[in-house]
A and B are shown apart, each in its own frame.
Chain A
């Protein structure tokens, strides 16, 4: 199968790991910011090379159509965020919020986090996957606390405690899956290999699997940011550096979602076990409606978009919970579009907060007049995230709504209601942020617009035309997800 001269799995993992080591030693922040970009670019290339050939699944690693989508998306956003981060961090250093020593740590941790996420996505072993997600979580915890302010410390502490509890539940669920597998698969490593489990899951004890899935959904669901376990998410987004907000929303939530999906596939293959769909539908819908209402009362711009991430993860989990080829397809598309759009919004918000010197919505007005490029970038991003046609999210949300109407009309009503409430909140805030009487600094901003507009262009293009190859790929994955 492998047509390449090297093992792409190893490349995807080794590049961030080596880069983390080197970055931890480099004192000069300009060089390390470049190196961070270079390493992220190389990881992206290695991830793309997975399309051209990859080894057969073994006890530890697996590459299939499903996780290639996740890996390419996450390395792509990882790369663009590293470009954004280079300018962002330069400004933070200038105003003295961060010191060069912090930056060394920051860059090393960025690559550790990328390593953890790639490892989680490539893992064929449910134990390894757990370890990798824990690693990525710990790396983001310390980055959220990097400003060491009052608020940043509380945010990091809350994130740490909630994520640890989540991760403890996930491990307990993992142990239960192994217990269910042991009588059938036998003792030892085979009982944790996902491909082996999914092939033989039909013979597992369904009662044990049910309990295991509840723990796994609660555990990894905490990391996805599903209500009522979402409390860490807004704080972590608001108080950490903005590049971290972008990767949290764009990547880490997806990685946890990927874990949930893998276990959902496992449960779906056992006819006697509970169907995982209704649980996911319930949690997804709850998150959507809750976050939609919460959007109205936000005063902090990053916090508002964090709630919008909860809303979108709710929609995505809902779509996968409904299941079937169409809803799964829409869920995948929604996930991709949300990652791209939300990180683009955070790129804009990061520069806006820097130039205005505040994150309070009330203190930011008339952006399109003071900073036209940033302002219109934000407008475009918010319009996209709110689900206006013809952008990508409109299409995926339309597919989710229509496939739900066909199967569960009552649920679709709730879904539409939630979407409209969130839409209203976002438009309300956007009008004051982007238009109206300008206040605050008019100083020119040293920003990197390329990552933001690259993402927005992709979202725009996807709303108008999806390449047939991509559609085919997503359809294939959607049928895998069942």
Chain B
């Protein structure tokens, strides 16, 4: 029988997948950012629970970074940014919501089949965590390809990174180097993205990547 610790970890990791699904069907940028904040909160709870269950205090730092940075600082910054840019209206998605959700379900099924099969000998907690983490990763990827807007793609990328952190914390005793580096890389990634967004705005007054599609190199 499973213990309570397992059940809660399972619940939180499942919640993360659910939050990823919620992001898929948001068609307004501000709502999307709010759901991303929720995603980050669920992640930080999940990481904190892992820290408690595995008795690994260093993981609390990762949880704190997820909460402070990803659930508060980034959403607030993004909100300010989209208001300043005047793009807190509807976002265009390449594929409409129905097929996107179906594709998402397919991806989750795929990751369950793949991960549960190959990790048959690992301990159950790590198994389920890994399967959920792969789902979150693939859903993040799906979001990146279904959004044309740069902000939407960035949020997709950050939710993908959340999946990675879930996987890293689920792997018991994984050296701290990696956790910090993941958090650190998110930070760098965001700075880079920030620079790009800033530059794109400065030049074109728009962060809609469709506006950049003119360029294909061969038909100049």
Q: Which residues does A use to contact B, with CB under 8 Å? A: 125, 127-128, 130-131, 134, 138, 141-142, 145, 148, 150-151, 153-154, 156-157, 160-161, 164-165, 168, 171-172, 174-176, 178-179, 182-183, 187-189, 191-192, 205, 207-208, 210-211, 234-235, 238, 297-300, 303, 360
Residues of A close to B141: CB separation below 8 A: 165
Q: Are A153 and B174 in contact, with the CB atoms below 8 A?
A: no
Q: Are A303 and B119 in contact, with the CB atoms below 8 A?
A: no
7 A-B pairs within 8 Å (CB atoms) are namely: A130-B181, A157-B209, A160-B196, A165-B157, A172-B167, A175-B171, A179-B119
Residue B86 CB within 8 A of the other chain: no
What mask results when residues 206 to 220 of chain B are scored 1 for a CB within 8 Å of chain A, else 0?
Answer: 000100101101101
Q: Are B203 and A150 in contact, with the CB atoms below 8 A?
A: yes
Residue B151 CB within 8 A of the other chain: no
In the complex formed, the residue of B with least CB distance to A131 is: B181
CB proximity of B10 to chain A, nearest CB, Å: 18
What mask results when residues 20 to 62 of chain B are scored 1 for a CB within 8 Å of chain A, else 0?
Answer: 0000000000000000000000000000000000000000000
Residues of B close to A192: CB separation below 8 A: 174-175, 177-178
In the complex formed, the residue of A with least CB distance to B202 is: A148
Q: Are A153 and B177 in contact, with the CB atoms below 8 A?
A: no
CB proximity of A318 to chain B, nearest CB, Å: 26
Q: Are B150 and A157 in contact, with the CB atoms below 8 A?
A: yes
Instruction: Pick from B87-95, B101-109, B184-192 the stretch touching chain A.
Output: B184-192
Given the complex of chains A and B, what is the CA–CA distance between A207 and B218 in angstroms? 44
Residue B182 CB within 8 A of the other chain: yes
Q: Are A161 and B177 in contact, with the CB atoms below 8 A?
A: no
Residue B153 CB within 8 A of the other chain: yes
Residues of B close to A187: CB separation below 8 A: 172-173
Q: Are B126 and A179 in contact, with the CB atoms below 8 A?
A: yes
Given the complex of chains A and B, what is the CA–CA distance between A383 and B200 in angstroms? 40
Q: Are B212 and A150 in contact, with the CB atoms below 8 A?
A: yes
Q: Given the interface contacts A127-B177, A207-B120, does A182 sit within 8 Å of B172 by beta carbon?
A: yes
Q: Given the interface contacts A168-B164, A300-B217, does A138 sit within 8 Å of B192 by beta carbon?
A: yes
Q: Are A210 and B218 in contact, with the CB atoms below 8 A?
A: no
Taking a contact as CB atoms closer than 8 A, the residue among B121, B150, B193 that contacts A205 in the complex is B121
Residue B97 CB within 8 A of the other chain: no
In the complex formed, the residue of B with least CB distance to A187 is: B173
Taking a contact as CB atoms closer than 8 A, the residue among B122, B157, B161, B215 that contacts A151 in the complex is B215
Residues of A close to B150: CB separation below 8 A: 157
**How would you classify the secondary structure of chain B's contact residues: helix, strand, loop or mixed?**
helix
Q: Are B195 and A142 in contact, with the CB atoms below 8 A?
A: yes
CB proximity of A290 to chain B, nearest CB, Å: 16
Residues of B close to A211: CB separation below 8 A: 114-115, 118
Q: Given the interface contacts A127-B178, A164-B189, A179-B130, does A210 sit within 8 Å of B118 by beta carbon?
A: yes
Given the complex of chains A and B, what is the CA–CA distance between A120 and B197 in angstroms? 29
Given the complex of chains A and B, what is the CA–CA distance between A297 and B218 in angstroms? 8
Q: Are B196 and A153 in contact, with the CB atoms below 8 A?
A: yes
CB proximity of B158 to chain A, nearest CB, Å: 10
Q: Are A131 and B185 in contact, with the CB atoms below 8 A?
A: yes
Q: Are B173 and A191 in contact, with the CB atoms below 8 A?
A: yes
Q: Are A148 and B203 in contact, with the CB atoms below 8 A?
A: yes
CB proximity of A384 to chain B, nearest CB, Å: 25
Residues of B close to A189: CB separation below 8 A: 175, 177
> Contact size class for B?
35 or more
Taking a contact as CB atoms closer than 8 A, the residue among A153, A176, A210, A297 that contacts B203 in the complex is A153
Residues of B close to A188: CB separation below 8 A: 173, 175
In the complex formed, the residue of A with least CB distance to B180 is: A131
Taking a contact as CB atoms closer than 8 A, the residue among B193, B200, B220 that contacts A153 in the complex is B200
Q: Given the interface contacts A127-B175, A131-B181, does A235 sit within 8 Å of B217 by beta carbon?
A: yes
Q: Are A175 and B212 in contact, with the CB atoms below 8 A?
A: no
Taking a contact as CB atoms closer than 8 A, the residue among A125, A141, A168 that contacts B177 in the complex is A125
Query: Which of B118, B195, B200 has the most chain A CB atoms inside 10 A of its CB?
Result: B118
Q: Are B122 and A238 in contact, with the CB atoms below 8 A?
A: no
Residue B117 CB within 8 A of the other chain: yes
CB proximity of A387 to chain B, nearest CB, Å: 26
Q: Are B175 and A156 in contact, with the CB atoms below 8 A?
A: no
Q: Are A154 and B215 in contact, with the CB atoms below 8 A?
A: yes
CB proximity of B94 to chain A, nearest CB, Å: 14
Residues of A close to B199: CB separation below 8 A: 145, 148, 153
Residue B155 CB within 8 A of the other chain: no
Given the complex of chains A and B, what is the CA–CA distance between A299 and B215 in angstroms? 13
Residue B144 CB within 8 A of the other chain: yes
- If A128-B177, A154-B212, A165-B141 are given as contacts, then 5 extra A-B residue pairs at C-beta distance below 8 Å, sorted by A number, are A157-B150, A157-B209, A205-B121, A205-B122, A211-B118
Q: Given the interface contacts A150-B203, A179-B130, A205-B121, does A238 sit within 8 Å of B217 by beta carbon?
A: yes
Residue B160 CB within 8 A of the other chain: yes
Q: Are B171 and A172 in contact, with the CB atoms below 8 A?
A: no
Residues of B close to A175: CB separation below 8 A: 130, 164, 167-168, 171, 174, 178
Given the complex of chains A and B, what is the CA–CA distance between A255 and B94 in angstroms? 35
Given the complex of chains A and B, what is the CA–CA distance between A95 and B111 in angstroms? 53
Given the complex of chains A and B, what is the CA–CA distance between A127 and B164 in angstroms? 13
Given the complex of chains A and B, what is the CA–CA distance between A178 and B161 in angstroms? 18
Q: Are A182 and B192 in contact, with the CB atoms below 8 A?
A: no
Residues of A close to B168: CB separation below 8 A: 171, 175
Q: Are B212 and A157 in contact, with the CB atoms below 8 A?
A: yes
Residues of B close to A142: CB separation below 8 A: 192, 195
Residue B137 CB within 8 A of the other chain: yes
Q: Are A171 and B218 in contact, with the CB atoms below 8 A?
A: no
What mask results when residues 125 to 159 of chain B are scored 1 for a CB within 8 Å of chain A, else 0?
Answer: 01000100110010001001000001001000100
